[in-house]
Structure formats: structure tokens, C-alpha cells
Structure 1
């Protein structure tokens, strides 16, 4: 099960701001601009039903929690989705078994590699579901972020297969820095999260 880590002053300030910024029916592009002006890592998340500006709440040894005024999305180090709270996907946990190529996707070429995962979903009490991904680089694209800034990014696709699971994750990465600026990732069968960075997070150790 997901557990929320304790929050400090910086986290609480950033979350309180987001609650105010996206309250009511304010345009999320305007909220994104406001959040981008603050010293907090932030992103825009869309699961097809819920769309929100989110800020970084906690870094628990590389397991990052992103908060909006109503929901929390957990992202693993490298930007890989590993759990949700308050969203329709109901993803308790997703973990990579073996080497994690998402720490730097630039190491993956057109020939591709195999990624092994296990998913835990509350719906149907489906736990430990094995899913195999075939990940490869497929080209270069110009992608706009939530603030309208355009970037030339490398595109990677990951074909997913497992019991009751079939789909494709897509990732857009800065080929110079390795920053994962945008992704569309499976959260549950037939449910995807689209994640677009507004301001990336840089750990203090970096």
C-alpha cells in the first residue's frame, strides 16, 4: 500500500500554493506559469479524467511523491510511475526487476532492451502481475511543455505485455541532459498517465 511520507515546511508551502493556484476553474496553463515562478519542482499530470498541476512533496531515497490539491502520484527515480493515490488507476505499486534503464534512457538505442516489471492493482486484488516491456529509441520530436516552450527530444517507446496487460509507454528525453520531460505511462490496464515536467527536480547530491 502507498504511504505518504512526512512533509516539511517547503513541501507544505508548495502544496498549499498549488491548492490555491488550481482552485475553482482557473486555467491550468496559468496555474503552471505561477508554479514555474516558484523554487519547487513541478509537473502537469493528466489521466484522462483528472488533470492537475502538481509539485514535489517528498524524496524518499529516490521515490518521489508529487502532490495536487486532491491527489498524489508517486514517481520512481528516473520518472517511472510506481504508484497512485486518489486516482482511478488504483496502482499500489510497480517495480522494475533487474537493471533500471530509466536512470538514463540515453543508454538505450534502436536495437532496444527488455524491461521486467511487477504491478500491484487494488482492483480485482491483482498483485505481483508480471509485465515485460520492449524498450527502444524510435526517433526525435519537437515537443511543447505546459508553458508552451518547445524542445527537440528523443522519443522512446516501450511495448508492454503481461496477463491482461497490453499497451505502450512513451517517453521523451532531452538527448543532451537525459532529463525526461514528458511521458505517457500505463497506470492500469487501459489507463494511462500523461506527465509533463514544468520544472525538473535536481537532488541536492547532484
Structure 2
């Protein structure tokens, strides 16, 4: 098996490039919407790309594959052109959904700084922007709390991870949610997360099933 870690499948218009349709055809049964019980360790190992399992709201779980990696940003894509951009495990942009998150402005603080620095900032504001309906720079209060170490099982493999809660709120629209991140304290990688990125979208839950080689 060729262990490709990313598959460049987006053209300039953020659509799936026709030249990569064969790659999607070969694994489309495992992508977004595939029955959760059929996503096995063997299936993941046989797909030659980094991958994650994602569930949106009460929908069924499915795989997204890594389209590209640049620094601490990763782009994940499904066969039906749902695109999720993660920056250090945090969803910072979406494509292909209703009320897409198009921008997230926040302080420049990594999970490494949050976990290891005594001067980490745990109370601040972020600004969210959306496309439909258009909304720019929704001011959201953020409060972060380190909960403690937790055992997490991903495809049967146990990981001891630090659970971090991130409570976001805006009193004017009566929106509040708690995002959760399970972070490896050794390399600060986010293996699992539950996030709310919009008052008009359900929760996003994901687990990394095959980590990109360069992270």
C-alpha cells in the first residue's frame, strides 16, 4: 500500500478536481454518510490517505480525507464536497454547508502555550463570520478550562489525552456552547473534538483515524 498522507483534490473554485475522481470512486463508500459500524481499523488502514471520522449533529458518521497540509492548518474533504479547515484541531472554516463559517479571528495562542505556559490566556473574545445569511465579526466570548486527563479509544486504540473545555457565548443572540478538545500533552496534537461553530449549525464531532505524517 502506498502511504500517501494527503490527496490534492480541490481546484481553484474549491470543487473536487475531475482528475481525482478515481481516488474518490475507490473510497466513496467510506466517506461522509457511510454507516458508522462499517468504519473499521482495517478500512482505515486500506485507505492511503490521512483521515478523520466526522459526525455533524445527529447524522451518520463518515470519513473525510486530508486534502492538504500547510503549517498547522489542514484541509479535509468528503466525496460530496464538504470541506473542513482545521487549525491545530480547531475548525476555522467550512465549505459546502448551510451558513458556512468563512472566518474565525482569535488570539494567537496554541494548545502548546495553553498547556505549558503559566501566562496562558483563558478569557478572551473571538470574532466569527458567516456566508448565508451574511454576518461579519460576531463577537463571541471565550473561556477555556483544562479539565484533566482522560482515556480515549479510537478504533480500539487507547490514548491518554488532556480534555480541554472551551465555552463560547454571545448574550445578544443567546448563544452558548462548550467545545471540547482531547489533546495529547506530549506533542499537543488534537485527536478528538466536539465543536459548535455557528448558532445555525449542529455540533461537529470528529476523531483522527489516521494522523498526517508531518504533524
**Which is higher, the Rg of structure 1 or of structure 2?**
2
Name the structure 2 match of 1:150: 158
Q: Are 1:170 and 2:170 matched, yes or no?
A: no
What is the correspondence of 1:6-85 to structure 2 with a 5 Å cutoff? 15-22=24-31, 27-33=35-41, 34-50=43-59, 51-60=61-70, 62-85=72-95
SS at match of 1:135: strand
Shift of 1:133: 1.1
SS at match of 1:188: coil
Q: Are 1:200 and 2:214 matched, yes or no?
A: no
Q: 1:46 to 1:6 in 2, by over 3 A?
A: closer
Which stretch shifts more, 11-20 or 161-170?
11-20
Q: After TM superposition, what 4+ stretches of structure 1 lie above 4 angstroms from structure 2?
A: 5-9, 11-14
Shift of 1:45: 0.6
SS at match of 2:146: strand
Q: 1:119 to 1:17 in 2, by over 3 A?
A: farther
Runs of 5+ unmatched residues, structure 2: 1-11
Shift of 1:63: 3.3
Residue deviations 1:111-133, cap 9 Å, x none?
86134322112343222112121
Name the structure 2 match of 1:120: 129
Aligned alpha-carbon RMSD (Å): 3.2
Shift of 1:54: 0.8
Runs of 5+ unmatched residues, structure 1: none
**Contact 1:174/1:181 (<8 A) preserved:** yes
**Contact 2:92/2:103 (<8 A) preserved:** yes
Q: 1:21 to 1:6 in 2, by over 3 A?
A: closer
Aligned length: 198
Q: 1:15 to 1:104 in 2, by over 3 A?
A: farther
Cα separation, 2, equivalents of 1:100 and 1:81: 15
